[in-house]
Structure 1
Amino acid sequence: MFFPEYTDDLFMTTNQAIDEINQILEALQKKDINIQIKYTIDTSVNDLNVNIMNQNGQLITSIFHKPTTEPHILPYTSDHPRHIHRNIPYAALLRAARICSNVDNFNSEIVRIEMSLLLNHYPPNYLSKHFDRFLRLNNAINVFNTLDPHAYKDLHHKLLYQPTRNEKQRQGMLQDPVRSPAVLQTKIWDTSVMYPRYIFDSGFPKLFGKWWKKYYAFPGSPAETVKMRLVANTNDTLAKFFIHKKPPKELLIKMEELKEQ
């Protein structure tokens, strides 16, 4: 059944809302000449790296890939600490699971991630191992094997609202009014573990391990029970010299309160 009077009212209301939004955005743009706001009104829009689609009144999110972006990732053959290579597939899958609200989009993103890594010389067995690691750590084996939409929905919501490590630290700092910011805390020294730093070389850890056991941690030595955790220092980059991340707002406020005290 068609009601023209209600349709006209709805059309006018929608146009009024769009006009009000346009006026607000234009006013914001005039406040600062350095700010340029481009907006789109459609059933599908892109915001940063997220594609948002209105599908029958339901918002569907997926990862937006710029057409000009090439699948360049840190090559597997690059001489970097292995934990850096290991974190790349995990971080890519975590990003996909957080952004993609649909299991089919998530599956397509898995294929894209795998192809990008293969093009950058990551071995297939290596990818299978770390893809399985992501699924095991998040109890999502069924999502990968059967593409169960209900299981994926649970995974998506779990990872979407899961706080990051920095957020957990900030929450703990704010909940304890006496606690000082993390950057001002003194760390407890554990004499049973050593963290020597070294300029990264792929063959050094094994060589150092042989030296340590032969000359220092031999049976009966006081250093026999000391554990070694080598920390690799990579070469400095221009980004390290020129880019400095601003501390979180909560941390700055907390530091100001401590100074006033």
Structure 2
Amino acid sequence: MTTNLSVDQINRLLDRANEKDENIHISRSIGSTIEFLDVLVNNNHGQLHTSVYHKPAAEPYIVPFLSDHPRYIHRNTIKGALFRAVRLCSNVEDFDNERLNIELMLLLNGYPPKFVSYHFKKFFEQHNMMSLMNELNDDIYRELHRKLIIQPTYRERERERERQVYNKKEIRVLFTFESGPKLQLKRELYRLWKKYYIYEGSLVNDVKLKFSTKSNKSLNQLLVKKKPPRSMLVTNHTTTST
């Protein structure tokens, strides 16, 4: 947060807040530069600038998925990384440095250079900002930054999709992607659907099958210890009588 309160006043407020719940501890850092999660915020003479914060202890060149995942997962990895960089970097120089980090990360993890170049170009084409690939124009970049920062995130879109009315003309089929026999799953299910359910007078002639693949869990998901739900963190106060 930014405030005009004195340091002593801020410390007293945070001390009182820390006493409200013993399970939640508020750490404080006061200065012109501060990091929060994956954002680095810098106060430059009253102007706040943001960029991507890379934790020193974190491995900088690891991608979420490597193999045994559908092609769109690798495509979305590039798109998601660029989308995050634009949203977090408030000036074009910081974005360009982060773009180079993303490109290096992808190449070190075996992504083909042509594949990386194609999807970088496609990202800028999608947002009508191809000129940024050739020239670092701060005005053009700020327009892109403002445009993407107000767009809903993937989770926000998913929540909105869940609120929508159930579509009775659509059946969604979810399956885990695997290299091997499951590659033919979509084609085989379509064949069986048409053979046994699509015929004259069938009640499901207008129903469409929609296939969605779920990614295999990464080692991070399997091995990293997750934070337990809040209900487990709340201390249960019990009383006994004799």
CA–CA separation in structure 2 for the residues paired with 1:163 and 1:81: 24
CA–CA separation in structure 1 for the residues paired with 2:187 and 2:158: 37
State how many pairs are aligned. Answer: 214
TM-score by length of 1: 0.67
Structure 1 215/187 Cα, relative in aligned 2: closer, same or farther at 3 Å?
A: closer
CA–CA separation in structure 2 for the residues paired with 1:79 and 1:26: 49
Structure 2 residue matching 1:186: 3-state secondary structure: coil
Partner of 2:64: 74
Are 1:104 and 2:93 an aligned pair?
yes
- Is this contact kept in 2: 1:75–1:121, CA < 8 A? no
- Is this contact kept in 2: 1:74–1:85, CA < 8 A? no
The RMSD of aligned alpha carbons is 3.6
Matches within 5 A, 1:38-187: 38-70=27-59, 71-76=61-66, 78-164=67-153, 167=156, 182=163, 185-187=165-167
CA–CA separation in structure 2 for the residues paired with 1:128 and 1:27: 52
Partner of 2:8: 19
Structure 1 85/245 Cα, relative in aligned 2: closer, same or farther at 3 Å?
A: farther
- Tell me: higher relative CO, structure 1 or 2? Use CA pairs within 8 A at least 6 residues apart: 2
2:177 to 183, 187, 200: 200
- Is this contact kept in 2: 1:143–1:149, CA < 8 A? no
- Is this contact kept in 2: 1:205–1:230, CA < 8 A? no
CA–CA separation in structure 2 for the residues paired with 1:211 and 1:34: 52
The residue type equivalent to 1:86 in the other structure is R
- Is this contact kept in 2: 1:79–1:202, CA < 8 A? yes
Structure 1 129/33 Cα, relative in aligned 2: closer, same or farther at 3 Å?
A: same
Q: Deviations over 1:92-122 (max 9, x none)?
A: 1000100100100000000101111111111
Higher helix share: 1
- Is this contact kept in 2: 1:50–1:62, CA < 8 A? yes
Amino-acid identity (%): 36
Structure 1 67/57 Cα, relative in aligned 2: closer, same or farther at 3 Å?
A: same
The residue type equivalent to 2:54 in the other structure is H
Structure 2 residue matching 1:231: 3-state secondary structure: strand
CA–CA separation in structure 1 for the residues paired with 2:101 and 2:50: 17
The residue type equivalent to 1:201 in the other structure is E
Partner of 1:6: none
Which runs of 5 or more residues in structure 1 are unaligned?
Answer: 1-13, 173-180, 247-261
Partner of 1:250: none
CA–CA separation in structure 1 for the residues paired with 2:95 and 2:57: 21
- Is this contact kept in 2: 1:79–1:201, CA < 8 A? yes
